[in-house]
Amino acid sequence: MGFARGERVRMMIARLCALSLIATSLFCAAAAHAEDGYRLWLRNAPLADAAQHKSATVTLIGSDSPTARLARDELQRGLAELRLASTAAITLRKLATPAQREGAFRVNGAKISSASDIGLLYGAFALLRELGQGKPLASIKLDEAPAYTLRMLNHWDDPDGHVERGYAGRSIFDWWHLPDRVDVRMTDYARANASVGINGVVINNVNARAMMLEPRYIAKAKALADRFRPWGIRVYVSARFSAPRDIGGLTTADPLDPAVRAWWKAKTDELYAAIPDFGGFLVKANSEGQPGPQDYGRSHADGANMLAAAIGARGVVIWRAFVYAAENKEDRAKQAFTEFQPLDGKFASNVIVQVKNGPIDFQPREPFHPLFGAMPKTQLAIEFQITKEYLGFASHLAFLAPLFEEVLDADTGRGGTVAEKVSAIAGVANTGSDRNWTGSDFDQANWYAFGRLAWNPRLPSDQIAREWAALTFSRDPAFLRAVVPMMLGSREAVVDYMTPLGLAHVMGTGHHYGPAPWVADLDRPEWNPVYYHRADRDGIGFDRTGTGSDALAQYAPDVAKRLLADEELLLWFRHVPWDYRMSSGRTLWEELPRRYDRGVATVDRMGVTWAEQAPHIDAQRHRAVADFLKIQAHEARWWRDASLAYWSAISGRALPPGHAAPTHPLNWYQAQRFPEAPGQ
């Protein structure tokens, strides 16, 4: 039976449409699974091919809360994506016995149990993490509890979408469209955080705008809090101390003024009415031009306690100890200790003093901050920087777990390690609007490492690197054998080519991009690199012993001895002649170029190692990493050349034999300008 011409054309069109629908959906499916970094370490790459794939069932017992249901859904989704080769029946059981620390869980093969809903979710993620590395289900036995109750990210995001020290695009929060539009990405962001146990998020910059406390911004914060809540994440806000004046119509922000206290109490009540589980305030006060209690002759404790009284038992005030002042002639490295240590015991019980990991500012290497262990009557949090303001931004591969580990494991000499002396942990986030979240694929590892160490500060860096690399890229043993050591050596490479042997803060003005050890003309003395290295014809380094600023005396005596003997911190603590004899037998002047060269050589090797991984990695991410490694190799040379050109000029010494001369004369490096560098 023949068809009429019109009918044939209609059928052809229908067939073409069907074909194009199939093609489109195939394309869409491929695009949805394109390896562009969006799926982070939660890719659940298949363990078996589709034919071997066996079914998995998940049973949830004892709770039907949104969080418990997320745990079940996460497992269902994860197991389906992982495609286990043997049948699995997983049970998620909420126990009736409270007692465990919030978030604690047990995994015994196919059985996950916890006394809390969030513990079930953490247990689900933990099981998937183990399975994702290729471990057999029956062999997985975990019994975990978080070391700290507060494990938080600090976003330095501004309401206009700019991120201070952000190298991953714009703010991850779509401030302008909130609260009406809450991007689906907010769910994925909360999920990623929950997968590593992060349970608090400060949503705005510590250099805070008072508008964050206005009703329209409280509505935006509420929308985020509602989205994050099922994932066990509480929202915190950075509060501008002068808000009662800026937006409250008062003439003062004096923390002892009754009207100011009443204003904060009412504002806090307004926040809790909108967000019943609001976490509290983070405050940067009297630091780098921010307002604070000292503007009224009051102490940091007066300021923090006033806010703590407004919040009461509902939340916490996190008060930053990152303070230093231009008018203060004291060594910048000493100022926070001088200011805060005498206040020990004066803070309210819901105040946490947040201290940066080192006494200056997130340098590639610093000794631990002397406040750790020195304020036994105060709750302390440690603040790390996950975004790499001083470590090459997003384009330099620097795995930060070894830096975090070095600080957390440091013995304070006051009855415990740094990890043991803090009760909370914060990381300055490196996330942004970029599709891959963190600007580079490898910077995802730093978000991951922060979360894992916040959960368990005893985890070794190599375990974290191995987990992350297996989940994010490939569980192939050959790949891991090559890439894990590459990651572990990467931060030391940055130290070598930027700030070897205890040098610090020699980066470009403002943006902190690239080398500028020669800068000496900035208004505030402590913003000039020359303040930190003090190099002249005779020698180099900051004397922080008894003959200098005596910052060493802020540490316990045994620790001070140890720090002084540590050559990696030589120029942090001592001013020494260029001919100073190192333990290697070489002079300092001979040792310095070796360090720079070692850093450059390590980065070159990283490039080769990565090139060899092409068979293991999808083309898109492989190329993205390779491109950044090229930038890093180029910039490591730039750092080496510019630094050596300057040290050579200032010491009046030619480079020791065997070291290549810098590519350009010193004035070429000095003339470089990058007003457009990101993150300022």
- Shortest Å distance, C-beta 332 to ligand GCV: 11
- Shortest Å distance, C-beta 387 to ligand GCV: 10
The residues, any chain, with a CB within 8 Å of residue 484's CB and separated by 6 or more, are 462, 465, 466, 469
Nearest to 359 by CA among 343, 342, 383: 383
Q: Which of 389, 492, 526, 641 is catalytic?
A: 389
CA distances from 159 to 20, 220, 517, 521, 645 (A): 43, 11, 34, 32, 42
- Shortest Å distance, C-beta 288 to ligand GCV: 6
- Shortest Å distance, C-beta 207 to ligand GCV: 5
Report the alpha-carbon distance of residue 41 to residue 36 in Å, rounded: 12
Q: What residues numbered 10-69 form the site for ligand GCV, per CB under 6 A?
A: none
The reply on whether position 511 binds ligand GCV by CB under 6 A is: no
- Shortest Å distance, C-beta 569 to ligand GCV: 21
Report the alpha-carbon distance of residue 150 to residue 438 in Å, rounded: 23
CA distances from 656 to 185, 505, 659, 660 (A): 54, 25, 6, 9
CA distances from 545 to 120, 469, 570, 659 (A): 51, 42, 11, 32
Report the alpha-carbon distance of residue 241 to residue 222 in Å, rounded: 21
C-beta of 133 vs 207, nearer to ligand GCV: 207
User: What kind and span of H or E run contains 469?
Assistant: helix 461-472
The reply on whether position 361 binds ligand GCV by CB under 6 A is: yes
Nearest to 303 by CA among 284, 322, 279: 284
The two tokens of residue 93 are 């059981």
Contact mark string toward ligand GCV, 435..454, x via CB under 6 A: --------------------
The reply on whether position 532 binds ligand GCV by CB under 6 A is: no
- Shortest Å distance, C-beta 126 to ligand GCV: 32
Note if 441 is an active site residue: no
C-beta of 389 vs 467, nearer to ligand GCV: 389
User: In this structure, are residues 596 and 639 in contact, taking their beta carbons and an 8 Å threshold?
Assistant: yes
Q: How many chain residues bind ligand GCV (CB under 6 A)?
A: 10
Report the alpha-carbon distance of residue 391 to residue 366 in Å, rounded: 13
- Shortest Å distance, C-beta 206 to ligand GCV: 5
Nearest to 380 by CA among 148, 637, 675, 178: 148
Beta bridge partner(s), residue 201: 153, 235
Contact mark string toward ligand GCV, 294..323, x via CB under 6 A: ----------------------------x-
Q: At which residue do the structure tokens 């009461």 appear?
A: 312
C-beta of 154 vs 395, nearer to ligand GCV: 154
Report the alpha-carbon distance of residue 227 to residue 589 in Å, rounded: 56
- Shortest Å distance, C-beta 35 to ligand GCV: 33
**CB neighbours of residue 410 within 10 Å:** 21
Q: What residues numbered 262-291 form the site for ligand GCV, per CB under 6 A?
A: 284, 288
What is the maximum alpha-carbon separation in the chain?
A: 106
| Burial bucket for residue 673 (CB in 10 Å: 0-12, 13-18, 19+) | exposed
**CB neighbours of residue 99 within 10 Å:** 7
C-beta of 156 vs 628, nearer to ligand GCV: 156
DSSP-assigned letter for residue 23: H
The reply on whether position 206 binds ligand GCV by CB under 6 A is: yes
C-beta of 114 vs 154, nearer to ligand GCV: 154
C-beta of 426 vs 454, nearer to ligand GCV: 426
Instruction: Walk across the sheet containing 88-94 and list its strands.
Output: 56-61, 88-94, 111-114, 105-108, 141-144
C-beta of 294 vs 613, nearer to ligand GCV: 294
The reply on whether position 621 binds ligand GCV by CB under 6 A is: no
Contact mark string toward ligand GCV, 143..182, x via CB under 6 A: -------------x-------xx-----------------
Backbone angles phi, psi at 311, to 5 degrees: -80, -40
C-beta of 193 vs 204, nearer to ligand GCV: 204
C-beta of 81 vs 288, nearer to ligand GCV: 288
User: In this structure, are residues 73 and 92 in contact, taking their beta carbons and an 8 Å threshold?
Assistant: no
Note if 361 is an active site residue: yes
- Shortest Å distance, C-beta 57 to ligand GCV: 48
Q: Which of 188, 246, 269, 288 is catalytic?
A: 288
Q: What residues numbered 486-505 form the site for ligand GCV, per CB under 6 A?
A: none
- Shortest Å distance, C-beta 229 to ligand GCV: 27
Report the alpha-carbon distance of residue 61 to residue 304 in Å, rounded: 43
Strand pairing class (105-108; 576-577): unpaired
DSSP-assigned letter for residue 678: T
The two tokens of residue 599 are 């850093």
C-beta of 361 vs 543, nearer to ligand GCV: 361
C-beta of 207 vs 609, nearer to ligand GCV: 207
- Shortest Å distance, C-beta 356 to ligand GCV: 7
User: In this structure, are residues 469 and 480 in contact, taking their beta carbons and an 8 Å threshold?
Assistant: yes
Strand pairing class (234-238; 280-283): parallel
- Shortest Å distance, C-beta 527 to ligand GCV: 9
Note if 389 is an active site residue: yes
Q: What residues numbered 380-419 form the site for ligand GCV, per CB under 6 A?
A: 389
**CB neighbours of residue 476 within 10 Å:** 16
Binder of ligand GCV out of 207, 341, 509, 670 (CB under 6 A): 207
How wide is the angle at C-alpha 640 spanned by C-alphas 635 and 641, nearest 5°? Answer: 95
Report the alpha-carbon distance of residue 504 to residue 533 in Å, rounded: 7
C-beta of 361 vs 496, nearer to ligand GCV: 361
Q: Is the peptide bond before 179 cis (omega within 30 degrees of 0)?
A: yes
Q: Which of 144, 157, 339, 361 is catalytic?
A: 361
Q: What residues numbered 186-205 form the site for ligand GCV, per CB under 6 A?
A: none
Q: For 99, left (φ over 0), alpha (ψ -120 to 50), or beta?
A: left
Contacts with ligand GCV, residue ranges (CB under 6 A): 156, 164-165, 206-207, 284, 288, 322, 361, 389
Where in the sequence numbering do the catalytic residues fall? 288, 361, 389
